[in-house]
Amino acid sequence: MRYVTLFLWFMLVLVLPVAAQEGYPLPDDLQPMTVENAAQIKLLASVGGLLPGSLSLSHDGKRLIVNTSAGLQLYDLTQPQQSPIKLANVSYAYFGKNDQIVANGHDIDEHTGEQVESTAVPASSIPDSTNNTKVKVRTKNGEVIIDVKKASGKTVSLHMNSSDSFNEIVFSPDEQYAVLVMTYTIDDYILSRMSFWNMESGKHITDLDNLDMLKDVSFRGDGKLIVATAYYDGGAADTVAIWDGHTGERIGPMGSAEGVVYFSPDNKLMMIFIGRHIEMWTDHLLGSLEYLGYSGEEGGPPFAFSPDGKTFVKTGVKQLELWDVPVDSIPDAPRLVIPTADTIERLYYSPDGSLLISVEWKKIEVWDARTGAKLSLFTSAIESSSSAPIFSADGHFARATIDDNIQIWNVKQAKLIGTLPNRANFSADGLRAAYWEGGTVHVLDIRSNQQTDLKVIENYLGSVLGFNPTQRLAIFSGQDFAALYDLRTGQEVLRKTVDETFKNAVFNADASYFVTRSNLSTTDRSNYRATINLWHTDDFQDPISQADASYRGRDLLLSPDGKLLSGLEGACGDGGGGAHFMWNTQTGVESLNYYGGTCGPNSQIFSPDSKWLLVGWDGELDMLDVNTILKETVSDKNQTADEDHSRRFLDYHEARRNFRNIAISADGTQVAFME
């Protein structure tokens, strides 16, 4: 991406072993790549700096691992002016749970890069049994035997007379009991059967009720209850069932549910969302409360327990309701009611339980959980839902992804600290962040709002946007620049400072012209706009023409003579396919805006003489007359169909094929495609 390594296949040439060398100037005896010599690809030369890799902050935020194409660089952020420790033999690394450096699955010495004895917790000492259990299935004399080696190291054999297939085994927290899930198939449906076992003796206790299309089964945290959810009637609704965690006896009726079960922090209370009600269970059903229903968002209904387990919050009609967690019976009324103006999608408590956060469409609100007072409001500028907020360890700061960026706030002061790219890496305490910008790594101390800049890559070239194999020219684009390089000499030919980062570029056949596309900043995603510029290869300062377009695809193709630009927006859905756009590059005028009725478009290619264009769709191959299109303009930028698209056809072919990766012979007489 931000570094170019010239391989023979990239340059469509090959260096034979006798002429192999590194760097510029390139050897004179480069040969075309063929089937016979393709296996001899060798590194020829490189331009630009390093490739940036992943970042990893230590848990306390005091150290930073920067991975690059030249190896690891380890920074001490308490002394950022010091040179980093460099390990060229380490290609990828990160901080482990104990802030040790891990690479290729092993702990390494930070000074030598050599593997050292692991400090990870042995699997046998981890109390969670489900993720550290080894299961072996065998048959003997027609009997299925499942050997289960538990996390404690003990092996128990379960004997069954069954032709079902093993799916999973779920343990109680103390590993005394387990639910064995087996699957079988009827009419292409994979169904489930559950049985309950004593894992000390290996004896079968009972079969649990058959829920067929099982979704999830688990023990409550104290092991006293087993809860299972399942799809009902092909997934149209969900069901839930409850059993005694020691006897396997059914203690709860099966009912229509939202497929969501919540446990209180102390595992004494279980909340099951059924219809428009929340059923509350301890060892028995306490009763139910009404709620507004499932929000449709991943992560479950708008509901949350406080960290201390004493309170829960749910939605009401334009209000939030805070309830005391029941012990023997459900309270008659909520402890606190907070009026809201909009429908709540998700609810969260801060780590210390003092704040309540509600997430809605385009906004996040922060409330005092004790008084219900609104403390702050954070809004999104565009039609976008926000992610769940993540709090710092001290609870003073929160971050969430909004508008494809990460916003960080001082929560109690209702103050925006900053906006970072969504690729930013955070320390475990949430008080430091690191991210790449060009060849520099920025490190933000969130408490002080101070930024440290680490210049990691010199001569940063950005992303490779376009390449012309004939003339061996490449376009690169960084945060605020674009550059044209001659890869025959490794020299920069042209450079331009830009306000908008170029997203992609394409050359015509002889590289006399190239086109760039950049996105226009907008807060309205329904009115996406892009700028498309045509440039002459000898002049990168002023474009020949410019078009403002609604085009949002990446598949741009310039005709060999540079007069016509074609762009595809592939799509497939109930409303039909995507769109095909074309522009007259000399005038910047849009000449075609066609929305197809079939899936695609998938691929395109101009004839060598620029007289016609092939566009492949699913079940359709269009051959378009370029001269006809060049004479046209699109007057209605919002048109959704072109009733007379056929007048542009030189030929049209419909078949039960999906036309992809179209190729044309050099003389333009033969066409090949892949479907």
User: How does DSSP assign 75-127, residue by residue?
Assistant: EETTSTTSPPEEETT--S-EE-TTS-EEETTEEE-TTT--B----SPPGGG--
How crowded is residue 570: how many other Cβ atoms within 10 Å of its Cβ? 19
Q: How far, in Å, CA of 118 to CA of 553, rounded?
A: 47
Cα–Cα distances in angstroms (integers) from residue 326 to residues 19, 242, 264, 286, 368, in the given order: 81, 19, 11, 8, 22
Q: Which of 74, 181, 100, 173 is nearest to 130 (CA)?
A: 173
Residues ≥6 apart with Cβ < 8 Å to 544: 513, 534, 535, 536, 585, 586
Q: Report the predicted TM-score, pTM, of the whole model to 2 decimal places.
A: 0.68
Q: Which residue has the tokens 């409850």?
A: 242
Q: Which residue has the tokens 């049994």?
A: 129
Given a contact cutoff of 8 angstroms between Cβ atoms, the answer to whether 474 and 491 are in contact is no
Chain centre distance of CA 422: 11
pLDDT of residue 638: 42
Rounded mean pLDDT for each run of 10 residues along the chain, 675 residues in total: 40 34 72 80 81 92 93 93 90 88 87 71 33 76 83 84 83 90 81 90 90 81 84 57 90 62 82 79 82 52 88 86 89 89 81 85 82 78 62 87 82 81 91 92 94 90 85 85 88 84 86 84 59 87 83 83 89 75 86 80 92 88 88 58 63 74 87 81
Q: How far, in Å, CA of 391 to CA of 34, rounded?
A: 57
Token reading at 411: 């929560």
pLDDT tens column, 257-274: 555 778 888 878 888 877
Instruction: State in words which class domain 487-674 has.
Output: mainly beta
Domain 121-257 has CATH 3.90.190.20: no
Domain boundaries, the chain: 4-47, 52-120, 121-257, 487-674
Spell out the long-range contacts of 516-520 with Cβ–Cβ below 8 A and sequence spacing 24 or more: 516/465, 516/475, 516/477, 516/482, 517/551, 517/556, 520/548
DSSP secondary structure letter of residue 406: E
In the three-class reduction of DSSP (H, G, I as helix; E, B as strand; rest coil), residue 262 is classed as strand
Token reading at 582: 């074309």
Token reading at 313: 């919050």
Strand 363-368 vs strand 355-360: parallel, antiparallel, or unpaired?
Answer: antiparallel
Burial pattern 366-398, b for ≥16 Cβ within 10 A else e, equals bbebeebebbbebebeeeeebbebebbeebbbb
pLDDT tens column, 420-434: 998 899 999 999 999
pLDDT of residue 470: 81
Q: Which of 580, 589, 567 is nearest to 505 (CA)?
A: 567
In the three-class reduction of DSSP (H, G, I as helix; E, B as strand; rest coil), residue 584 is classed as strand
Q: How far, in Å, CA of 175 to CA of 137, rounded?
A: 19
pLDDT of residue 589: 84
| 487-674 matches 121-257 in CATH topology | yes
In the three-class reduction of DSSP (H, G, I as helix; E, B as strand; rest coil), residue 132 is classed as helix
Q: Which of 658, 671, 657 is nearest to 600 (CA)?
A: 658
Q: What is the dihedral of CA 282, 285, 289, 295, to 10 degrees?
A: 70
